Amino acid sequence: MTESAAKKLPRIAINERLCKGCSICVDFCPTDVLEMKGSCVAVKNLEACTRCQLCDLRCPDFAIQVFD
């Protein structure tokens, strides 16, 4: 049970209405989880997410948050 809890993936909530596509979150993500899809951010590799919250902290548009 503990093992399955450790493997639990975070949920990255992206608000496409608010995202302006500045790519700050993509550039600052230390484990390269995010990518740009057109003018909006998308999740590329969720397994690599370490829940550091840097994308949330530096997003100027209230568009991305990481839930555990």
Partner 1 sequence: MSTTVAEKKEKVSVPFDYNKYLRPNKLPHIWCPGCGHGIVLKAMLRAIDKAGLDKNNIALVSGIGCSSRTPGYVDFNTLHTLHGRALPFATGIKLARPEMKVIVVTGDGDALAIGGNHFIHACRRNIDITVLVFTNATYGMTGGQYSPTTPLESIATTSRYGNIEPPFDTCEMAKASGATFVARGTAYHTLELEKTIHEAITHKGTSVVDIIDACPTYFGRANKFKSATHMMEEIEKDGTVNVKQAANLPPEKLAGKMLRGVLHKVEGPEYCEKYDILIKEKASAKK
Residue 52 engages partner 1 in binding (rule: CB under 8 A): no
CA distance 43 to 7: 18
* Segment lying near partner 1 (by CB under 8 A), choices 17-25, 30-38, 42-50: 17-25
CA distance 12 to 33: 10
Q: Which residue has the tokens 């998308």?
A: 42
User: Which residue lies nearer to partner 1 by CB, 44 or 58?
Assistant: 58
Residue 43 engages partner 1 in binding (rule: CB under 8 A): no
Residue 29 engages partner 1 in binding (rule: CB under 8 A): no
List 2, 7, 38, 47, residue binding partner 1 (CB under 8 A): 2
CA distance 63 to 50: 19
